Amino acid sequence: MEAGEWERLAELADGLTPAIDAVQDSAANRKYTIAEHRQKVEAVLAMLESAIRQCSTRRDQLSPLIEALDRCSARTRP
């Protein structure tokens, strides 16, 4: 992502979404005997979902700037 490969982030997010959904479904359907374990799993899922939203938002914010720099760079090349 540091190299500006935002498409890769989208691929990762698309791949993580089904996994997150599967874990959530599993957590919701399973009766954990230890509430603390369930809370930890739900906390990790919340962090992953938040990270995906934040990265997607940041990508959307930076994409026009990167495109503008590419256009400027293309015009200045001999």
Give domain limits for the chain.
6-26+33-76
pLDDT at position 23: 75
CA–CA distances in Å: residue 29 to residues 22, 23, 40, 45, 61: 10, 10, 16, 15, 37
Mean pLDDT of 47-51: 90
Mean pLDDT of 34-59: 86
Residue 29 has pLDDT above 70, yes or no: no
pLDDT at position 1: 56
pLDDT at position 27: 63
| Residue percentage of the chain with pLDDT more than 70 | 77
pLDDT at position 30: 64
